[in-house]
Amino acid sequence: MKCVLKKILENKRSYAKLPLFQYMRDSSLTEEERLGFYPCMAHFILSFGDINKYMLREEPAINLYQQQVNNHTYEDDHHWPWYLEDFTKLGFDHLCSPTSWMRFLWSDETRQNRILTYRLAVLIAEASAVERIAIIEAIEETGNVLFSTMLDLAKAIETRRGIELRYCGEFHFGLESGHSVGSDHAEIAGIPLDEVTQARCLYLVDEVFGLFEAWTHELLDHAKGHSLAFSSTKVTISI
Ligand SMILES: [Fe+2]
């Protein structure tokens, strides 16, 4: 698996340079503007719990690799309530009517969020347990880029407003190791792969990063296109 991890790190380096993360690091903008994509990722973030519970997890585990996958899902399947908690704290609860909100979540404007979920589900369904570990590692590294970049923004907002943002901030980041839960880099690197499986893992890694890249572009478009206030005042957006 060593060369698969190397491929993941190469992808991660490019991923971290994507325009969304540059935008999030742009100190000429307010932290709130730089987090303006937050509502847009709702569909995927909430679906990610289901991906863990119903796609990655298989019980009983047929081998040690699947058990490792299952152990990871027990951690990663319940982070989405913290997303909702911050959603409220950031002032997004009064954006629009429930029907407008659902229309937005299933609109063309947010299609990459849904495509990300559906495509990941297909990749996972077709993957063996060890290939699922490669998928998890790739997902975790994309998460590491997002959450490490979001951390500074969260800290600034937390200090200014006297609130705790559990999803955007330290609480969640502390649980995101960048690797599958219970495993370290050396252990994963040491997993032996035959040639065919290795090729499959390399393919899956590229696919995962490609899907997440498309997702970041959608999030950025949303952050730039909508001026969403984080205040408690009612906000109108055209969705
Ligand atoms: Fe998480």
> What distance in angstroms lies between residue 42's CA and the mean position of ligand 1's atoms?
13
Give pLDDT, residue 3.
Answer: 96
pLDDT tens for each residue of 181-197:
667 788 889 999 999 99
> What distance in angstroms lies between residue 57's CA and the mean position of ligand 1's atoms?
16
Give pLDDT, residue 182.
Answer: 64
> What distance in angstroms lies between residue 230's CA and the mean position of ligand 1's atoms?
22
Calculate mean pLDDT across residues 32-51. 96
Q: Within a domain: residue 47?
A: yes
> What distance in angstroms lies between residue 194's CA and the mean position of ligand 1's atoms?
31
Calculate mean pLDDT across residues 163-174. 94
Q: Within a domain: residue 79?
A: yes
> What distance in angstroms lies between residue 182's CA and the mean position of ligand 1's atoms?
15
> What distance in angstroms lies between residue 196's CA and the mean position of ligand 1's atoms?
31
Residue 226 pLDDT class (50, 70, 90 cuts): low
> What distance in angstroms lies between residue 72's CA and the mean position of ligand 1's atoms?
11
C-alpha span between 234 and 239 (Å, rounded): 15
Q: Within a domain: residue 236?
A: no
Give pLDDT, residue 167.
Answer: 96
Q: Within a domain: residue 233?
A: no
> What distance in angstroms lies between residue 29's CA and the mean position of ligand 1's atoms?
26
> What distance in angstroms lies between residue 178's CA and the mean position of ligand 1's atoms?
10
Q: Could you tell me where the DSSP H helices lie in 16-166? A: 19-24, 31-34, 42-50, 64-76, 80-89, 98-105, 111-125, 129-161
> What distance in angstroms lies between residue 78's CA and the mean position of ligand 1's atoms?
8
Cβ-based burial of 107 (10 A; exposed 0-12, middle 13-18, buried ≥19)? exposed
Q: Within a domain: residue 155?
A: yes
**For the domain that residue 182 is a member of, what is the CATH number?**
1.20.910.10
Q: Within a domain: residue 108?
A: yes
> What distance in angstroms lies between residue 172's CA and the mean position of ligand 1's atoms?
6
> What distance in angstroms lies between residue 55's CA and the mean position of ligand 1's atoms?
16
Give pLDDT, residue 137.
Answer: 95
> What distance in angstroms lies between residue 195's CA and the mean position of ligand 1's atoms?
32
> What distance in angstroms lies between residue 108's CA and the mean position of ligand 1's atoms?
26
239, 104 Cβ separation under 8 angstroms: yes
| Residue 161: C-alpha distances to residues 86, 127, 151, 158 (Å) | 13, 45, 15, 5
Give pLDDT, residue 228.
Answer: 44
Q: Within a domain: residue 232?
A: no
Q: Within a domain: residue 238?
A: no
* pTM of the model as a whole: 0.91
> What is the residue type of 31?
E
Cβ-based burial of 11 (10 A; exposed 0-12, middle 13-18, buried ≥19)? buried
- The total number of structural domains in the chain stands at 1
C-alpha span between 14 and 6 (Å, rounded): 13
> What distance in angstroms lies between residue 176's CA and the mean position of ligand 1's atoms?
6
> What distance in angstroms lies between residue 68's CA and the mean position of ligand 1's atoms?
17
> What distance in angstroms lies between residue 165's CA and the mean position of ligand 1's atoms?
13
Range of 21's domain? 2-225
| DSSP string of 99-120, one letter each residue | HHHHHHHTSGGGHHHHHHHHHH
